[in-house]
Chain A
Amino acid sequence: MNKNGRTHLVTEFSLLGILALTLFFALPFWFMFVFATHTDSAIFSVPTPIWFGNQLQENYQSLLRHLPAFWLNVKTSLYISSATALLNILLCALSGCAFAIYDFPGKGLLLKAVILSLLFPSVLTMMPTAIMVSFLDWFNQPRALIIPAACGSFGVLFIKQYIEQAITQDMVDAARVNGCNELQVFRHVVLPAITPALASVGLLTFIGAWNNLLTPLIVLKDPNLFTAPLALRSLQGVGAMPWGAICLGASLTTLPFVILLALTARWIYRVTYHNAEV
């Protein structure tokens, strides 16, 4: 009885701890959305507002005043991220398939080179890439961000691993015996089996490209062609910062991810720990 009571108390305390942690992670987002609806002076008044205000319209106008190309920037970001994700899905699937179900001269050497290259930090390629971008005259062009990232080595190795686990050589041979040519093997045997892996590659490259700061900082110079994060950053340090407008811009670029995560949370939950029950 006594012990039972104590266990309950401990559980209550843990729940309180979890609640505090959840607040720690969630509150900055809450204040971002709340600040987006207040004037700059209200944001820094005592006490800080904790509920929505009525300045949304004004902040939106202020945002467009400070960043006339805001929606163009969002469009650029969307274009760069989706193009990178789609190219990665296609090219990683093809290369992963080539590595996983074919034997060809040079395969071992190529794989070794790819794995070895992953050990080197990306900072090494930063300067040469800048020189190449200027040599190709790719400054201010989305392709300077899309093409170098079009087929990540991690993605290729991940898909290769996935195909090796999902598909046996027998399945490939059976398809060939039944009259599939190589392209049909890829299309009808490999692709359907690796859809979840391709979804992860697409999602991760999309998020990575959207949040990339360093490369856009180097290759994009024209504010009209900035990505959305770069445009928001350009508001930093311009005298009096329009905080309401900044928080509104931040909210607008974050909201899609909140929704995306809310939609996929169940899936992540199932993958990461409902399988534990099996």
Chain B
Amino acid sequence: MNLAELQRYFARAATSGRGPLPELDRVFLGNERLSAEDRLAIYNRGYFYRLLEALASVFSQTKRVLGESDFERLGLAYVAQHPSEHPAVERVGRSFSAYLRRVAAPPLVVDLARLEWARLCALVAPNPASVATASGIDAERFPRARLRFVPSLQWLELDPRTLPVFAGDISAPGAADISAPGALAAGGAPVAVWRREHVVHQLCLDEAEWKALLRAASDATLSGVCAVFDRGSQTEDERHAFQVLSSWFGRQWVAAVAYDARQPNSR
């Protein structure tokens, strides 16, 4: 075999989920202490358990809810179908929540995995080049300005039980029965996840703030963002819009206020 063939053969042996390959003894040496099959099994076990360990480190609450044996069964099946595509091992879980959905895991489990993946993305996101403050806003140009968010900010809609279950609160309504159908059909709970300093935070948003965030993220101007606050009372709507936008600056979600539409979003 040439080098490419030998490496392909080794990789197949080390990542095979179906037992040893034929002809191992023709490629590798063994001895009385350890056969070629035993030797390749060391790499095979190491491959799967290293990736499983990486999954468990990212999806610790998903694992807690699923239980050790179900997590291991699903995790091993997942890594067999989704080998790592990133130099950093923890990124192997990029499609884990989609996989859980595909194998019909309970919606709460799927959403726990989505939340934990968002938390990882927030945790490892690059530091923002800058963090904007509300006091730095140019009032004259404010309506035409656009917000650029920090790289760590994530947003997603989740089963409303996800945050309490993540926090270990099984007394939350419906949290004790993970196999119960989720509440997404009735509208999921919008959640923002971000990192401030070294700590990852998550927060449920109200409907208006969620719409405003989606608009701001899709490059709407601030006047467009504020237009979502429309309950009929101008004073109340302005107060709400001010409160929400101020909180975004306070939570350090905003990397920059762009007065030029061509300034790209850093995310």
Q: Report if A and B associate in a common complex.
A: no
